[in-house]
Amino acid sequence: MCHYQGILFFECEHVRFKLFEFCPAHRAQLDRINDPSECSEHLIPFDTPSECLPRVVIQDGSILLVTERENLATNVVQWVTDLSQICSTCSEFLTRQVRFL
Protein backbone atom coordinates (compact mmCIF):
# COMPACT_ATOMS: atom_id res chain seq x y z
CA MET A 1 0.00 0.00 0.00
CA CYS A 2 1.29 3.47 -0.89
CA HIS A 3 1.74 6.08 1.82
CA TYR A 4 0.54 9.68 1.63
CA GLN A 5 1.01 13.03 3.30
CA GLY A 6 -2.30 14.74 4.06
CA ILE A 7 -2.44 18.51 3.59
CA LEU A 8 -5.23 20.46 5.29
CA PHE A 9 -5.70 23.91 3.76
CA PHE A 10 -6.86 26.10 6.64
CA GLU A 11 -8.23 28.96 4.51
CA CYS A 12 -10.62 26.86 2.39
CA GLU A 13 -10.88 23.79 4.69
CA HIS A 14 -10.09 21.34 1.88
CA VAL A 15 -7.83 18.31 2.18
CA ARG A 16 -5.41 17.13 -0.50
CA PHE A 17 -2.99 14.23 -0.52
CA LYS A 18 0.61 14.10 -1.73
CA LEU A 19 2.33 10.80 -2.41
CA PHE A 20 4.86 10.07 0.32
CA GLU A 21 6.11 6.59 -0.65
CA PHE A 22 5.31 4.05 -3.40
CA CYS A 23 4.35 0.49 -2.46
CA PRO A 24 6.00 -2.46 -4.27
CA ALA A 25 2.89 -3.06 -6.45
CA HIS A 26 2.80 0.53 -7.66
CA ARG A 27 6.57 0.61 -8.14
CA ALA A 28 6.34 -2.54 -10.30
CA GLN A 29 3.78 -0.83 -12.56
CA LEU A 30 6.02 2.23 -12.88
CA ASP A 31 8.94 0.00 -13.79
CA ARG A 32 6.74 -1.78 -16.33
CA ILE A 33 5.79 1.41 -18.19
CA ASN A 34 9.46 2.40 -18.37
CA ASP A 35 10.36 -0.92 -20.01
CA PRO A 36 9.94 -0.48 -23.82
CA SER A 37 8.93 -4.11 -24.42
CA GLU A 38 6.30 -4.04 -21.66
CA CYS A 39 5.11 -0.59 -22.71
CA SER A 40 4.32 -1.83 -26.21
CA GLU A 41 2.22 -4.72 -24.86
CA HIS A 42 0.10 -2.86 -22.28
CA LEU A 43 -1.99 0.28 -22.23
CA ILE A 44 -0.80 3.40 -20.47
CA PRO A 45 -1.77 4.89 -18.08
CA PHE A 46 -1.97 1.97 -15.73
CA ASP A 47 -4.69 1.49 -13.13
CA THR A 48 -3.82 2.47 -9.60
CA PRO A 49 -4.71 -0.41 -7.27
CA SER A 50 -7.51 0.58 -4.87
CA GLU A 51 -5.32 -0.23 -1.88
CA CYS A 52 -2.89 2.46 -3.10
CA LEU A 53 -5.39 5.33 -2.82
CA PRO A 54 -5.44 7.54 0.30
CA ARG A 55 -7.63 6.02 3.04
CA VAL A 56 -9.31 8.38 5.45
CA VAL A 57 -12.88 9.42 6.14
CA ILE A 58 -13.71 13.12 6.14
CA GLN A 59 -17.05 13.73 7.80
CA ASP A 60 -18.55 17.11 8.72
CA GLY A 61 -15.16 18.78 8.30
CA SER A 62 -13.43 16.34 10.66
CA ILE A 63 -10.79 13.90 9.49
CA LEU A 64 -11.49 10.43 10.83
CA LEU A 65 -8.74 7.89 10.33
CA VAL A 66 -10.10 4.57 9.11
CA THR A 67 -9.34 1.98 11.75
CA GLU A 68 -8.22 -1.64 11.63
CA ARG A 69 -11.58 -2.59 13.15
CA GLU A 70 -13.22 -1.36 9.95
CA ASN A 71 -10.73 -3.56 8.06
CA LEU A 72 -8.99 -0.62 6.38
CA ALA A 73 -5.89 0.84 7.98
CA THR A 74 -5.07 4.41 7.09
CA ASN A 75 -2.15 4.95 4.74
CA VAL A 76 -1.75 8.66 5.50
CA VAL A 77 1.47 8.74 7.48
CA GLN A 78 1.83 12.49 8.01
CA TRP A 79 -0.49 15.51 8.26
CA VAL A 80 0.43 19.12 7.48
CA THR A 81 -1.75 22.20 7.97
CA ASP A 82 -1.18 24.95 5.42
CA LEU A 83 -2.18 28.19 7.14
CA SER A 84 -1.24 30.54 4.34
CA GLN A 85 -2.71 29.17 1.11
CA ILE A 86 -5.87 27.76 -0.38
CA CYS A 87 -6.01 24.54 -2.40
CA SER A 88 -5.48 24.54 -6.16
CA THR A 89 -9.18 23.95 -6.87
CA CYS A 90 -10.23 27.05 -4.93
CA SER A 91 -7.37 29.05 -6.42
CA GLU A 92 -8.50 28.20 -9.96
CA PHE A 93 -12.10 29.06 -9.08
CA LEU A 94 -11.11 32.46 -7.71
CA THR A 95 -8.94 33.14 -10.76
CA ARG A 96 -11.91 32.46 -13.05
CA GLN A 97 -14.14 34.71 -10.96
CA VAL A 98 -11.68 37.62 -11.19
CA ARG A 99 -11.57 37.27 -15.00
CA PHE A 100 -15.30 37.92 -15.19
CA LEU A 101 -15.15 41.13 -13.16
What is the domain partition of the chain in residue ranges? 3-99
Per-residue pLDDT of the chain (101 residues; tens, 9 = 90+): 788 898 988 888 888 888 888 888 878 877 877 777 777 776 666 667 777 788 876 666 566 655 544 555 778 888 888 888 888 888 888 887 776 65
CB neighbourhood size of 13 (10 A): 12
Contact (Cβ atoms closer than 8 angstroms) between residue 30 and residue 44: no
Report helix, strand or coil for 82.
strand
